[in-house]
Amino acid sequence: MTALCALFIRDLRLAVRVGGGALIGVLFFLVVVTLMPFAIGPDLGLLARMGPAILWLGALLASLLALDRLLATDHEDGSLDLILTARVPLELAVAVKALAHWLTTGLPLVVSSPLLGLLLNLEAKASGAVALTLLAGTPALTFIGLIGAALTVALRRGGLLLAILVLPLTIPVLIFGVAASNAAIAGPVPFGAPFGILCALTLISLVIGPIAAAVALRQGLE
Amino acid sequence: MRLRGSDLTCVRGGREVFRGLAFTVEAGEALVVTGPNGAGKSSLLRMVAGLVRPQQGQLELEDGDPELSISEHVHYLGHQDALKPSLSVRENLGFWAALLGGGGEKSEVALAAVGLAGLAPLPAIYLSAGQRRRLAVARLMAVERPIWLLDEPTSTLDAAAQTILADLMRAHLAGRGLILVASHGPIGLDGVKELRLGQQQSKQRTQPP
Amino acid sequence: MSLIDLANPSRFLALTARALPWLAAATVLAFAIGITEVYFAPDDYQQGATVKIMFIHVPAAWLGVFAWIVMSAAALGTLVWRHPLADVAAKAAAPIGAAFTLMCLVTGSLWGRPMWGTYWVWDARLTSVLVLFLMYLGVIALWRTMDDPAQAARAAAVLTLVGAINIPIIKFSVDWWNTLHQPASVLRLGGSTIHPAILVPLIVMAVAFTLLFVTLHVAAMRNEIMRRRVRTLMMLQAGARMGP
Amino acid sequence: MNLGPHAAFIVTAYIAATAIVAGLIGWIVLDRRRLSRILDDFGAQGISRRSTRADADKW
């Protein structure tokens, strides 16, 4: 337990120190969302209708952006070798790493989403709904991304491949995340149904992500 | 405690690195693995650490902790120092001590032993290559593990640090520990067994079955 | 006291240690006058009392641009003369400029809420300021990602100058984009003709804000010099311990 | 002073501006304290830029 705690605290520290890049994801989110109206036009009604989709896409891309740091840096400097010799199950170790990663990259996206909702002319209720669905859905993005990060860990330029591997897997999360937000704003579907499925997707990925990542890492040993 | 490998074959990237390798290391013994570049010294150490899967053959540990795998018995000191430049010297060592299962006070003792006590609050980015290596060596002291796997441990270490490392190894052997060292040069220990990797392969080639 | 004397970090520290209290006092005084002027300024016949927000919104926008000009000048110093004090000036200006740009955005949206009925519209000026804010964040992120300050300074200098060339282009594009889509009903912030009774407090506030910027910038530069000394000492300490 | 129907927005704008400036000042002051403490620690250890190497005098 102390071992996992140490890993958790160390990953949090690394993320907030110089070069950690914890806030790069939020910055990317901000830029992507700001770019959208330039393409769509400043029609506030249209922006408000598309708001949840824009925010979800932005959050999806932003959380993807940071994924290649999740395991690759530990692989490059030999830390991963030592983590493998620790007396903790690899599944738990990568789960803890993913959790720390979500706290430093996913959670800031959730927190900043209401602010960006303001730019897209979302009402307070709509912003709240998007933030709630992001809170429920972004852990799934991180834990699905964990699998991709484990698969591409040994590759020199794994970042792009990682995106290609992970993006199709995130489609269900995107569908139900946006659906739940829209349901809360306009209906006609009740909010509960898609939100329940979104939560279920997150729970499933919380279980499958670490297991699959551990398998991928062990298989990748040569 | 006894570590035994039998009939080990290692294939990396489609190339056979070694075949039919056998060795035994007893408690209190050190085995120096030598051989030319590419003979598989690092691969053998990584195999014992559980980081490389043997294509064939077995690794067994007698009288170890039955609850733990072999790789959970080892200290692996590879080519990389596994240090994070933005963490301080103390944070780096403290993290590995906690993760690998050691106590906090021992970390301080270990830092003092490798001559880095004065640099404890310094971020590791300021360390020279030799100092980084010393910090990696401090891990061996901070956490007690019976099997040490040292891959070229003396590279980048100065004479003084090599003496410190040799003393550490002697103390470990005296405490019934096991050591496998991959090395090109002398490691400062007397009476150690040697495993020549390149030789064995050439022997097989010169005496075909 | 010539510029060369100032350019030595130790001299800079000594000189600014004496100048900083005076700068701070001047800033406080300017703000005291400015706030008084603002208090007695008449309401706008069209916008009512909300025009009072303009007295912080416009100076904040001015400083957002001014800080980038300072950074660009410093960037030239970094790239052409390789002067370390220029690196320090550029790095210290970035977060302050970003903060004033943020202030401009926040006050602008608070001003816009009664006017437009919403906190944000994609008005050409506000949108340009938002893009400027994003560029500040990019520069700050670049500074934070590189460890070697000299290397980071050169990279940030290039980015700053590219930004300085690009900002007018961005401004023009955004204006064009905005007129393309602009619904006629939206009221623009700030008119072209300003009544003198409003202009005087605005100028006083702009001076006060500029003094505030200079004070904060000098203080931040001093911190930056100290941060580099700490870095140098840490490297020396690591080097001094090579032996056992 | 009568701020009219939108007094809340005006007051909020001034409070926000004050908060941002206060944040800047706080950041600079705290940063300064932290850095001078570290420099003092170095001084106490007897490590200074001049004592160790001449070319370190750049800063």
Determine how β-strand B147-151 pairs with β-strand B56-62. unpaired
Mutate to test the interface with C, among D33, D35, D50 (most CBs of C within 10 A): D35
Residue C75, both tokens = 């960037």
Q: Largest alpha-carbon pair distance within chain C?
A: 78
pLDDT at C170 over 70: yes
Nearest to A153 by CA among A96, A222, A62, A61: A222
Residues 44-103 of A with CB under 8 A from B: 76-79, 81-88
In this complex, the chains that touch B, judged by 3 or more CB pairs closer than 8 A, are A, C
Contact predicate C50/D9, CB 8 Å: yes
Average pLDDT over residues D41-56: 62
Mapping DSSP to helix (H, G, I), strand (E, B) and coil, where does residue B180 land? Answer: strand
pLDDT of residue B80: 87
The string of pLDDT tens digits covering residues A33-69 is: 998 888 888 788 888 888 899 999 999 999 888 888 8
Contact predicate B135/B114, CB 8 Å: yes
Q: Which residue has the tokens 């009402």?
A: A123
Between CA A159 and CA A72 the distance in angstroms is 10
Taking the CA atoms of D6, D12, D14 and D16 in sequence, report the sign of the dihedral they define. negative
pLDDT at C190 over 60: no
Residues 6+ apart with CB under 8 A from B197: B18, B21, B33, B34, B35, B39, B40, B41, B44
Mapping DSSP to helix (H, G, I), strand (E, B) and coil, where does residue A1 land? Answer: coil
Task: Name the average pLDDT for chain C.
Answer: 83
Residues of A in contact with C182 (CB under 8 A): 42
Residues 104-133 of A with CB under 8 A from B: none
Average pLDDT over residues D18-40: 92
The CA distance from D41 to the nearest CA of chain C, in Å, is: 10
Type of residue numbered C145: T
Which residue has better confidence, C100 or D45?
A: C100
Task: Name the average pLDDT for chain A.
Answer: 88
Residue of D nearest to C238 (CA): D47
**Sheet-wide strand order for B56-62:** B15-26, B2-12, B56-62
Contact predicate A146/A98, CB 8 Å: yes
D3 pLDDT band, cuts 50/70/90, is low
Sketch the domain layout of chain B as residue ranges.
Answer: 2-206
Between CA B51 and CA A128 the distance in angstroms is 47
Between CA C83 and CA C69 the distance in angstroms is 17
Nearest to B121 by CA among B151, B152, B150, B88: B88
pLDDT of residue C180: 64
pLDDT of residue C194: 61
C240 pLDDT band, cuts 50/70/90, is low
Q: What are phi and psi of B8, to 5 degrees?
A: -80, 135
Between CA B5 and CA B44 the distance in angstroms is 10
pLDDT of residue A219: 81
Residue of A nearest to B48 (CA): A85
B35 pLDDT band, cuts 50/70/90, is confident
- CA geometry: angle A173, A176, A178, nearest 5 deg: 100
pLDDT of residue C209: 93
pLDDT of residue C46: 66
Q: Which CATH number fits domain B2-206: 3.40.50.300, 3.30.110.30, 3.40.50.720, 3.55.40.20?
A: 3.40.50.300
Residue D27, both tokens = 């950041």
pLDDT of residue C109: 87
Task: Give me the residue from B126, B158, B160 closest to C238, CB to CB.
Answer: B126
Q: Which helix (H) or strand (E) holds C235?
A: helix C196-240
Q: Which helix (H) or strand (E) holds A45?
A: helix A44-65
CA dihedral (B173, B177, B183, B185) in degrees, to 10, reads 0
Average pLDDT over residues D28-56: 75
The string of pLDDT tens digits covering residues A177-189 is: 998 888 888 767 7
Task: Name the average pLDDT for chain B.
Answer: 83
pLDDT winner (highest mean) among B117-131, C119-133, C202-216: C202-216
Between CA A168 and CA C195 the distance in angstroms is 59
DSSP assignment letter at B123:
B
Please give the model's pTM, rounded to 2 decimal places. 0.85
Sketch the domain layout of chain C as residue ranges.
Answer: 49-179+193-232
pLDDT at D56 over 70: no
Buried b (16+ CB within 10 A) or exposed e, A11-27: bbbbbebeebbbbbbbb
